[in-house]
């Protein structure tokens, strides 16, 4: 079964994320478990937790297909001990929030050397924090996101992800989320299956793949810049997404759109209505995988725009 959705807003209470996801027909979704731009946020209330869990059941969402996204401030690869401690506290707080909500996955950006350490040093600092956090929590799976390959950033190269995983003690609690825009920007050619799937499987292993962010790219191949575009409107183009949505290896993990415009939501709904059907309907789904139009710039309600721009 294909699990497709969007990053939805949790404004006004984390339980609202579920209603927002259900309203766009998503059978998977992403959310922030606290403000992604603040070091600390008020704790979740008992009401938040109870309502969140009740709505999950009401709308039939399996936590396996919910992919919370970590705070943007976290940098576990920072060699400055004090700054890294602050990041770790924020990271651990996110993980504990996820566990209290009954969630099983947590997606985050590995970090950056900030130009003050080697890639290898940052990789080992990131792994050290993950190991420490695994001991301080119970079940949550920490999911590393690949990055666009910007200067000092860890995670643009599949080997960075493999290097972190190698140093994590509990391999059952570490995974990878591949963002298509980031891969393309980092130099993996998403336009063909040959451009990346075998490389990823060889260097990291498809068994670690716990989710994907489906974003097109505003910038050209190998640009090292992180600029999301709606699916079909960027430099990757529809064919890059078509091969993902026709390969059973990408079934059964959350596939999340991070672009908010109506045409992207049409693509979500079209995907859910067509591709989500059993594979016997595959031929039918091909016919309806039409290219979204360029019309419509209005932001869709309840869906977050995750275009980070350039840091
Ligand atoms: Zn991300
Ligand atoms: Zn991005």
Ligand nearest 148 Cα, by number? Answer: 2
Rounded to 10 degrees, what is the CA torsion of 219, 298, 294, 194? 40
Cα–ligand 1 centroid distance for 189 (angstroms): 19
| CA–CA gap between residue 283 and residue 30 (Å, rounded) | 29
Instruction: Spell out the per-residue pLDDT of the chain, length 311, in tens.
Output: 789 999 999 999 999 999 999 988 889 999 999 999 999 999 999 999 999 999 999 999 999 999 999 999 999 999 999 999 999 999 999 999 999 999 999 999 999 999 999 999 999 999 999 999 999 999 999 999 999 999 999 999 999 999 999 999 999 999 999 999 999 999 999 999 898 999 999 999 999 999 999 999 999 999 999 999 988 889 999 889 888 988 999 999 999 999 865 555 666 556 555 544 333 344 334 444 444 444 444 445 566 555 433 32
- Ligand nearest the Cα of residue 107 is 1
- Residue 220 — left, alpha, or beta (φ > 0 → left; ψ -120 to 50 → alpha)? beta
CA distances from 135 to 166, 169, 214 (A): 17, 10, 32
Distance of CA 309 from the midpoint of ligand 2 (Å)? 8
* CA of residue 177 to ligand 1 center, whole Å: 9
Residue with tokens 């059993």: 278
- State the distance from the centre of ligand 2 to the C-alpha of 197, rounded, in angstroms: 19
Using alpha carbons, select from 205, 161, 180 the residue that is nearest to residue 188. Answer: 180
* Ligand found nearest the CA of 143: 1
CA distance 184 to 218: 10
Residues found in the chain: 311
- DSSP 8-state symbol, 8: B
Residues 6+ apart with CB under 8 A from 192: 239, 240, 243
Q: How far is CA 83 from CA 51, 80, 94, 117, 241, in A?
A: 35, 5, 17, 14, 38
Q: For residue 15, how far is its CA from the centre of ligand 1 (angstroms)?
A: 21
Question: End-to-end distance of the chain based on CA atoms, in angstroms?
Answer: 36
Q: CA-to-CA distance for 211 and 105, rounded, in angstroms?
A: 9
- Ligand 2 centroid–CA 279 distance in Å is 30
């Amino acid at each position: 079964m294909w699990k497709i959705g969007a990053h939805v807003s949790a404004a006004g209470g984390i339980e609202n994320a579920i209603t927002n996801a259900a309203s766009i027909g998503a059978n998977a979704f992403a959310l922030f478990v606290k403000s992604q731009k603040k070091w600390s946020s008020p704790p979740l209330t008992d009401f938040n937790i109870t309502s969140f869990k009740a709505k999950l059941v009401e709308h039939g969402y399996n936590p396996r297909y919910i992919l919370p996204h970590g705070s943007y401030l976290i940098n576990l690869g920072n060699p400055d001990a004090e700054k890294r401690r602050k990041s770790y506290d924020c990271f651990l707080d996110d993980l504990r929030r996820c566990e209290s909500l009954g969630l099983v996955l947590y997606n985050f950006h590995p970090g950056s050397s900030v130009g003050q350490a080697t890639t290898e040093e940052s990789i080992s600092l990131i792994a050290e924090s993950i190991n420490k956090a695994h001991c301080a929590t119970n079940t949550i799976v920490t999911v590393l996101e690949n990055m666009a390959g910007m200067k000092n950033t860890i995670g643009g190269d599949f080997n960075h992800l493999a290097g972190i995983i190698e140093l994590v003690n509990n391999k059952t609690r570490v995974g990878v989320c591949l963002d298509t825009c980031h891969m393309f920007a980092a130099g993996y050619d998403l336009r063909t299956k040959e451009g990346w799937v075998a490389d990823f499987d060889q260097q990291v292993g498809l068994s670690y793949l716990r989710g994907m962010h489906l974003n097109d790219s505003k910038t050209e191949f190998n640009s090292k810049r992180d600029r999301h575009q709606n699916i079909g409107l960027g430099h990757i183009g529809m064919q890059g997404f078509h091969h993902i949505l026709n390969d059973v290896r990408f079934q059964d993990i959350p596939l999340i759109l991070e672009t908010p415009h109506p045409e992207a939501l049409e693509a979500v709904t079209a995907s859910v209505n067509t591709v989500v059907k059993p594979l016997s309907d595959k031929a039918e789904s091909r016919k309806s995988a039409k290219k979204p139009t360029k019309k419509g710039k209005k932001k869709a309600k309840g869906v977050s725009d995750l275009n980070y721009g350039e840091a």
